[in-house]
A = this chain, B = another copy of it.
Amino acid sequence: MSQTSPDVEQLLRLISRDQRLESLPRTGWQICGVDRPESIAAHIHGVTLIALWLADHQPPPGANVERVLRIALVHDLGEAMLTDLPRPVKELIGKDVVDQAEDRAADHILEALPSWRSAFQEYRQGQTLEARIVKVADRIQMLARALEYRHQKRGETSRFFDTSTSFDARGVHLAAEIFQALRRHFDDKTWFDPHFD
């Protein structure tokens, strides 16, 4: 009698796939020698938080905050099937082939959620302000984590600040300044103290 409705069944399956992101590590850190680095789930959380801050700070006419958050939440969901392949592995297989596989994974996972699926595609195309905010947030999260790991003496993450690299602000307000501030922390060998203040 009390059967699970298709909607609810869909949610539970979505949750079960999303759960995997907690045990899947961000492999880029592992290659840098960071033992037990952040999970993909923790990464997505960080990106979403930063994206919200950026969205709140865009000058008029501003960004669609709901859309920004939706994009941030789904931007790495394909990795629940594909895992986070390290960059050298992607290059060995071919970046396009891997991107297509991730698209297929996202399509499969978000099948019955059109507004989520379109958010993923919007991120992939990277044209709208909302997608660009998430791309910038993704980069900020990564650089801040690299600074944290250096501060904790975990692994060797300085390559993320290779001097030849200039980070692309993508027209997002405050992004260039944030990247500069992160680079200053890198140059000055500083980061925030972890002592719970």
Contacts and interface: CB of A to CB of B under 8 A. Distances in A.
Total copies of this chain within the assembly: 6
Contacts of A44: 45
A52 B33 contact: no
Interface string A158-185: 0000000000000000100110111011
A48 B50 contact: no
Given A7-B174, A196-B81, A16 B144 contact: yes
A2 interface: yes
Contacts of A185: 12
A78 B93 CA distance: 12
A8 B149 CA distance: 21
A81 B73 contact: no
A12 B45 CA distance: 15
A49 B45 CA distance: 10
B89 A196 contact: yes
Contacts of A19: 46, 144-145, 148
Interface in A119-174: 140-141, 144-145, 148, 152-153, 155-156, 174
Contact of A97 (B22, B93, B191): B93
Nearest to A145: B19
A80 B4 CA distance: 37
4 closest pairs, A vs B, by CB? A16-B192, A88-B196, A41-B42, A45-B45
